[in-house]
Structures are given as structure tokens and as C-alpha cells.
């Protein structure tokens, strides 16, 4: 099967965008990937050996977390496994208004106030 490597991790996978492995399950595929490219291990797993929480695994178009056998799901030679770090974020909770608020004439201020919506 083919494992697609996200751009930040390719430097630890021989600069390849994908790695072919012979594997029986998702776990087996990851094990073979990190055996061949051991530098990947600390980027994918925590010190206690758990897959990092922000690492998403997609077997073809299915989220592995939602497959009944999860990482023990059996795979076929023609399957693709995508490693996708999550993308999220957002502004700070304390809100800084960008526009000046005029409290009285000729005294504009930039207000830094807590966002009451949070």
C-alpha cells in the first residue's frame, strides 16, 4: 500500500511524498513506515508510544478513528493511507478592537476589552 507523507514530515522520510509498504493492517503499515524511517517516529508518536492527538489518519477517504477496527483495520495492496496533521486556530479570547472609539471629541482611544461573546 501507499502511505502519503505530509510536507513537514518528508524531510524525515527520505524527502519522499509517499512510501510504499507491504502491510496487513494500518498499524502494521505505520510500524513498517517508522522502521524504514525511524526519524518519523517522534513526530508521529508521543514518548509513551501513542499517536499524537493532532495526527489524522485516512485510509483512502475514511477517517481511521471511525472505522470499527480503527488502527487494526486490514488493508489491501491498492489502499492509500494519508497522514494529515490537523489545521485549526483562531484569535485570542481577549479582544482588541481595531477601530478607535471616540469617548469625547479629539480623544480617540484604542480599546482593549474582554470579548463579551466568549
Partner 1 sequence: MLRISQTEYDSIRRHGEETYPHECCGVLLGSSDGQTRAVTKTVRCGNTRSDSPHNRYHISPQELVRVQRQAREAELEIVGFYHSHPDHPARWSQTDLAEAHWIGCSYVITSIERGQANITNSFLLAGELEENKHFEDEAVNVVAEVTAIANESTC
Give Cα separations from 73 to 6, 25, 86 (angstroms). 22, 5, 22
Residue of 68, 77, 78, 88 that binds partner 1 (CB under 8 A) = 88
10 Å CB burial of residue 71 (0-12, 13-18, 19+) is middle
Positive/negative CA dihedral, 6, 12, 16, 19: negative
Of 23 and 40, which CB lies nearer to partner 1 in the complex structure? 40
Residue of 54, 69, 102, 111 that binds partner 1 (CB under 8 A) = 54
Task: Give the x-and-dash track for 66-85 against partner 1 (CB under 8 A).
Answer: ----------------x-xx
Half-sphere exposure of 112 (CA within 13 A, CB side): 2
* Residues forming the site for partner 1 (CB under 8 A): 4, 6-8, 10-11, 15-17, 42-43, 52, 54, 56, 58, 61, 63, 82, 84-93, 95-99, 115, 117-118
Amino acid at each position: 500500500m501507499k502511505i502519503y507523507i505530509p510536507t513537514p514530515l518528508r524531510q524525515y522520510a527520505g524527502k519522499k511524498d509517499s512510501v510504499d509498504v507491504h502491510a496487513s493492517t494500518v498499524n502494521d503499515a505505520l510500524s513498517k513506515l517508522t522502521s524504514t524511517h525511524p526519524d518519523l517516529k517522534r513526530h508521529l508518536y508521543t514518548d509513551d508510544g501513542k499517536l499524537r492527538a493532532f495526527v489524522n489518519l485516512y485510509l483512502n477517504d475514511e477517517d481511521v478513528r471511525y472505522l470499527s477496527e480503527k488502527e487494526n483495520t486490514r488493508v489491501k495492496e491498492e489502499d492509500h493511507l494519508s497522514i494529515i496533521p490537523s489545521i485549526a486556530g483562531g484569535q485570542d479570547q481577549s479582544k482588541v478592537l481595531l477601530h478607535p472609539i471616540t469617548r469625547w471629541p479629539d480623544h480617540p482611544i484604542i480599546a482593549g476589552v474582554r470579548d463579551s461573546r466568549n
